[in-house]
Structure 1
Amino acid sequence: MAQAASKTCEICVSAPGSHYCIDCEEYYCENCKLLHNRQKLSRNHAFQKATDLIPEGKSKCSKHKEELTLLCNTCNVPVCTSCVAGKHNKHDFSKIVDAIAQLREENETKIRAKTNDANQNLKKIEDSLKSFDNSVESVIKAINDEGNMIKRMVDKSVAEMIVLVKEQSKKEKEKLTIMLSDARSVLAAGQTLDRKRKALDKTRHDGGMVQKINTMTEEINKLKINSLLEFPNISFNRKSVAEDDIRRMIGTYTIR
């Protein structure tokens, strides 16, 4: 594995290693990089500028002073080849390079799974938001439709009530008109008798006068003043309606 401390081309070992092949984990100079990219097996390798690379120093075993090239899977610690025969005898091992590659692959798989879950959640939220907006519009339309229907019902009821008031009041007015006509007839008859009485007072007081007065008395007795019936009256009893009553008539909605 290449070390960031050595920035000499690891191919020609002469020119500065200004490029780092991420796939091969080696430093390349400009010319060697061009040759590397022309080869069929490495034409798709990714390069990174050496100046952007974070140097990695190779760790050594503190006990044996050897390079830590293995990973003890049993203890989950890096070890050197001498540790295999010593403290970590009969343990399960793997190369650090392989372990790192496996860990990277596992992390990549986990990240993909989590980003996939995040994308699915994002889509569900977006779909839910769209569906919720549609539901809100539907509820608003339903409220408007219900309100308009109630308005039409109220307008119809008001119109019908006004027609009924006019019809019933017309009948009562007709009764009053008849009573008024009768009262006028009685008044006219009374006024006629009064004129006769005054004219009779101016005539000669003799035996015929008595007969005439008796006749007038009979006419006066026949003049009947009808008792007045209870006059019709109309009033409006307002029903107290609160805003909550109107809302209950329209309906209710729920948000969960």
Structure 2
Amino acid sequence: MAQAAFKTCEICVASPGHNYCQECDQLFCDGCKISHLRTKMTKNHTFLSGPNINPEVKQYCNEHDENFIYYCRECNTPICKICVIENHKKHDLCEINTSTAINKAEIESEINIKMNKLETNIMVIEQGTNAYHSDVDGVMHAIRQEGVRLKELIDTQVELFDQISERATHNTTSNLTVDW
């Protein structure tokens, strides 16, 4: 059975690299990540972890090759410390982590609202389906009852016809016998 390809740790080159250091632009295994976070210079580095990390997606300003540390609310874009001075001095800024947390909360709220609407719609559909099946059952019952009633009516009419036919035959036979 084929296994999913994985990238190796760029430090020890032995273990799978499941942790991406955004500041160093490198993949780390769990052990090397712990060592990396113990040094004074790199203890505040941020890591992305998990199967969906994409080291090709840079968290750097293309203009200044600096980390994004702020988010400009007016321009709706992440910015570095140099961008703040050059282009965003009087803009409404917040730290990138704060902005990410706010955006995440908003997205989660929207997802919850949509999930609630979806669950409500599913309940309405289920209720409609149940009502439909109940109506179909009621109509089928009414059709069966009408069928029974019509069958009884036909049986009664056939029986009456048989009686009339029998009487007519009897009367004709009686009349013929009397005439002889």
State the TM-score, normalized to the length of structure 2. Answer: 0.63
Q: Distance in 2 between matches of 1:53 and 1:176?
A: 105
Q: Distance in 2 between matches of 1:133 and 1:71?
A: 55
Larger Cα Rg: Structure 1 or Structure 2? 1
Does residue 87 (structure 1) correspond to residue 87 (structure 2)? The answer is yes
* CA RMSD between the two structures: 3.3
For 2:11, the equivalent position in structure 1 comes to none
Deviations 1:162-201 (A, max 9, x none): 1122233433433333322xxxxxxxxxxxxxxxxxxxxx
Q: Distance in 2 between matches of 1:51 and 1:171?
A: 101
> How far off is 1:126 after superposition?
2.9
Does residue 125 (structure 1) correspond to residue 121 (structure 2)? The answer is no
Deviations 1:4-63 (A, max 9, x none): 65713687x27xxxxxxxxxx978xxxxxxxxxxxxxxxxxxxx9x67683768733343
- Alignment of structure 1 residues 1-256 onto 2, 5 Å: 3=21, 5=26, 7-8=33-34, 13=38, 54=53, 59-180=59-180
Distance 1:168 1:62, change over 3 A: closer
Q: Distance in 1 between matches of 2:21 and 2:137?
A: 63
Gap regions ≥5 residues in structure 1? 15-24, 28-47, 181-256
Distance 1:169 1:79, change over 3 A: same
Distance 1:98 1:175, change over 3 A: same
Distance 1:153 1:51, change over 3 A: closer
Q: Distance in 1 between matches of 2:134 and 2:105?
A: 43
- More moved, 120-129 vs 141-150: 120-129
Aligned length: 147
- Structure 1 stretches of 4+ with a deviation exceeding 4 A read 50-53, 55-58
Q: Distance in 2 between matches of 1:9 and 1:111?
A: 38
> How far off is 1:96 after superposition?
1.1
One-letter amino acid of the structure 2 residue matched with residue 87 of structure 1:
N
Distance 1:53 1:156, change over 3 A: closer
One-letter amino acid of the structure 1 residue matched with residue 53 of structure 2:
I
One-letter amino acid of the structure 2 residue matched with residue 8 of structure 1:
I
Distance 1:95 1:64, change over 3 A: same
Q: Distance in 1 between matches of 2:143 and 2:131?
A: 18
Q: Distance in 2 between matches of 1:9 and 1:118?
A: 46
- More moved, 128-137 vs 69-78: 128-137
**Secondary structure, counterpart of 1:63 in structure 2:** coil
Deviations 1:90-126 (A, max 9, x none): 3222221111111111111111122222222222333
Q: Distance in 1 between matches of 2:166 and 2:62?
A: 112
Distance 1:134 1:9, change over 3 A: farther
Q: Percent identity?
A: 26
Distance 1:170 1:59, change over 3 A: closer
> How far off is 1:65 after superposition?
4.1
